Amino acid sequence: MNKTFFIEMTKRTTIVLPDVVYEDLQIWADEEGRATANLVAFLVEQAVRAKFPSKYPPGYRRLEASDRQT
Check: CB of residue 37 under 8 Å from CB of residue 22.
no
DSSP string, 11-59: --------HHHHHHHHHHHHHHTS-HHHHHHHHHHHHHHHHSGGGS-TT
Residue 69 has pLDDT above 90, yes or no: no
What distance in Å separates the CA atoms of residue 53 and residue 18, rounded to the nearest whole number?
29
Does pTM top 0.85 for this prediction? no
Residue pLDDT, tens place only, 18-64: 999 999 999 999 999 999 999 999 999 999 999 998 888 776 665 55
SS3 9: coil
